[in-house]
Structure 1
């Protein structure tokens, strides 16, 4: 155990870094691909066949919309390993060593809470009330079948909704690794300028074109 007069030793560099568990929203990705395909189809058509200011308006709109659509659909992801939780949200990347994770909450959204009380939403793990209700109904039917002596349904009885199960897995990892030496540290937040920059530029150009008339 270290004393206040000594710094904690650096993590063992010889220890291989554990692989990330990656969580993303399949429905979000599918929706994003569809929206981007429609936007690109309409935008490219306006660029090629449009006249006057239309091609410029189409170009500015694409510069604005493509980053935004990507940010809210394709970009969100949660990466978890034995040392830290990394949350890639639309406009920020949050890195939380497990020691800085106080709790993982599930309500109308899934979020992680730090010791300072700061909350970060997990965009890549959205809450589906419909999935919760469906899982609860299936579990109730499985319990009824088991209590009625129908053992054929016991082995296949589904559990919790997928996103709730993901949150359970993250809670278990946080509890197991929260005191590990390699999981100590402070939260860090980085803005996604690669998303914010193009979107702001597109918005400015579009506003100027609309104002000029």
Structure 2
């Protein structure tokens, strides 16, 4: 079994690890010198920030293996077998349209890789212009030489979401072909309770300690 293909946002991961390092240094300082309620409140806020950094920067991923795709968003997970996937598209995020257990179409939007609306619109214009230029060039050479020409794949101007969608579509074609005739498995969706707890617990502790600090 081959290792899964994983797609993540590098800037988000770097930002999350920078916050983790900042929080760790401050928590160490609080552990050494903090002895009052204010220190406990600051520690809880730092831990809440770590929870947010984890669910937003470190946890999101799109993982594709031989059996399907796992979309891990900040607080929810979606597991999609290849036969259940209808379409994989790139907009400002990677969106996967799939059939649920009842056959109805649903859409999963991946948090892991995103593109700004402006960058997506610009890339779409570039792709259309390149496609028209390639068709015109092929027609011109075909008329002059009596044959067509092979157009090279267009990689210019692609956004990260376009790249990931292309990779996933290639994997879908490969693995669905290998599993032709198999019955589509059911998609699985649900909350990630450890991720929810990583934010909810320090948030509740922060709120309680700040409230206690205000009334003390």
User: TM-score per shorter chain, which class?
Assistant: 0.7 to 0.9
Taking structure 1 as the reference length, what is the TM-score of the superposition? Answer: 0.72
Distance 1:182 1:46, change over 3 A: farther
Provide the residue aligned with 1:123 in structure 2: 111
- Higher helix proportion (structure 1 or 2): 2
Partner of 2:198: 198
Q: Please give the alpha-carbon distance, in whole angstroms, between the structure 1 residues aligned to 2:118 and 2:28.
A: 37
Shift of 1:197: 1.4
Contact 2:19 2:50 in 1 (8 A): no
CA gap 1:57/1:182 in 2 versus in 1, 3 angstroms: farther
After TM superposition, list the pairs within 5 Å mapping 1:59-98 onto structure 2.
59-98=43-82
What residue number does 2:148 align with? none
- The answer to whether structure 1 residue 113 and structure 2 residue 97 are counterparts is yes
- Is 1:177 matched up with 2:161? no
Using the alignment, how far apart are the partners of 1:101 and 1:170 within structure 2? 11
Change (3 A) 1:48 1:137: farther
Whole-Å Cα distance in 2 between the matches of residues 41 and 69 of structure 1? 16
In 1, distance between residues paired with 2:51 and 2:63? 21
Is contact 2:113-2:160 (8 Å) kept? no
Deviation sequence 1:49-104 (CA, Å, 0-9, x none):
34521221022113322121111001111111232001111112211001121212
| 8 A Cα contact 2:115 2:160, kept in partner | no
Kindly tell me the number of residue pairs found equivalent between the two proteins. 189
The 8 Å contact of residues 55 and 195 in structure 2, kept in 1 or not, is answered as yes
* Higher relative contact order structure (alpha carbons within 8 Å, sequence separation ≥ 6): 2
CA distance in 1, matches of 2:174, 2:8: 23
Is the 8 Å Cα contact of residues 83 and 183 (structure 2) preserved in structure 1? yes
Deviation at 1:26, TM superposition (A): 1.1
**Which structure shows the bigger proportion of residues in strand conformation?**
2
* Secondary structure in structure 2 of the residue aligned to 1:122: strand
CA contact (8 A) 2:87 2:98 kept: yes
Structure 1 CA distance for aligned equivalents of residues 39 and 32 of structure 2: 7
